Structure 1
Amino acid sequence: MLFLPYNISLKNTEIDIYNYIINNLNQVGLMRIRELADATHVSSSTILRFCRKFECTGYAEFRLRLQAYNKSLGDHRLAIAPVDEFPFLEFLKHTHYPDFQEKITAAANILLESDLVLFVGVGTSGIFSRYGSYLFSSLVSLALNIEDPLNMPLYNLVDNRHQKICLVALSVSGENESIINYINHLKAHHAKIISLTNSGNSTIAQLSSVNIAYYNNLEMYEDTNITSQLAVTYILEALARTAHQAKCSN
């Protein structure tokens, strides 16, 4: 809440003050207490009580902290490098190598042999997980996407060895805890795991029946992982098309 790392309880009048400040950060940082009181139709003493709720001894300290907070918002507009196509071109070369083709074929065969196919991912990987389930459903057979692995328990999954289950897990880091828990639970039900990760040495990769790693340069913007997903798109499409061709051949 503003420059505080947690929410505080505000009265209706104080909420009006807060909303005015949020909507006029640049101006409020230069206002005197009387000017802010007039703008929000309250008394100066009400403004002071408001400031103390934000752990400030008075309005002067509040205004300084507000100015610093406003400046920090502008500092977050960091520059990022343009898209670098070279790693993707290198990845495309690798797709012609026998080891990559063997993994695509092995993964496609597992998908074709499965009675139930689940896709799962978190964050950006969740978006491509949905795309993967849509693509596979369109070209091969019905696949389900797990929208929220943290709130989608598998406690009632029937332990039927005759039912073949496959989980396709997407994770850039390969270390997402909720997906690892999903994998461990499904492996207890004899499921096969196909994973798409940025590294073949990650935990998720090591737990998988087949792992397809794409080795892109890891790129972060503040706390957000913005690693390119071009290779993931290619792998998903290659899997679905390979499985479709094999299905038609059979």
Structure 2
Amino acid sequence: MRATRTLATLDEVGGGDHVCQLLDPADDVMDRSRAFVADGALFGDKVVIVSPLTQPTSDVAALVLDPLRLQDSLLAAVRREAASAEREGYRALRVLHHVTSDGCAEGPKRLLRSELDLEEFAADSGALVVCAYQGRGWDPSALEQVRCVHPHHLGSRPASPSFRMYRTGKDGWTVSGVIDTDGAPAFGTILRTLLRQSATVRLLCHTLDFFDASGMTALAGAAGYLPDRKVVLEGTNETVRLAWELSGFTDPSVPVVIAP
């Protein structure tokens, strides 16, 4: 079963991992990611580099895709390459997704949707996906949102987000950590993004420690954001259920179901 973890190096990336790597503006993405790319040949993986740099320097064979020139979505492109890798006899697809603040054509909403798509893709296909974020000028709230939907992070700086939401199986998302005043805006935005794609979002909360009032308000607001939508929380602890009840959210008009 997938679980959150912090990696010391990219050598530790395994099948189904979706890793967030934060780079300094002066870092060379290929130098910092060389082990991950080079391990493709070692393990028999097909390597795809998605980068606004048309030809990143690499000493290994890799398919390079310019995100600004893709004719369809990034998800469609990596799915196509995963199918090609399987036909060609590779073990798996290995993706280095290099995102720069000046080379990202997507706004915050589309970037978050793309990262949620990559998270589902990695979980469902067993692909190895590293998202390397680089450059100045990032909207801090947008960067926090995308960090929350990566279950795996490289290194411990900066501090990990207070909660993470990641794909579990085919029909649910695990939520771990604490959703408080700091994390509530990101949580609400992520939920609204998921609810645009699905009428029911199932959250597995066995590793969710606590919601504060702002987190519960974000949950209720996101669930009622669009008509005929519902959020189901499973595996909540007694503290979460009691706080939800005492806060007055157990109302038929709030499309949220909270279960043990």
Identify the TM-score tier after normalising by the shorter chain: under 0.3
Which has more radius of gyration? 1
Greater fraction of residues in strand = 2
Identify the structure with bigger relative contact order (alpha carbons < 8 Å, sequence gap 6+). 2
TM-score by length of 1: 0.28
Greater fraction of residues in helix = 1
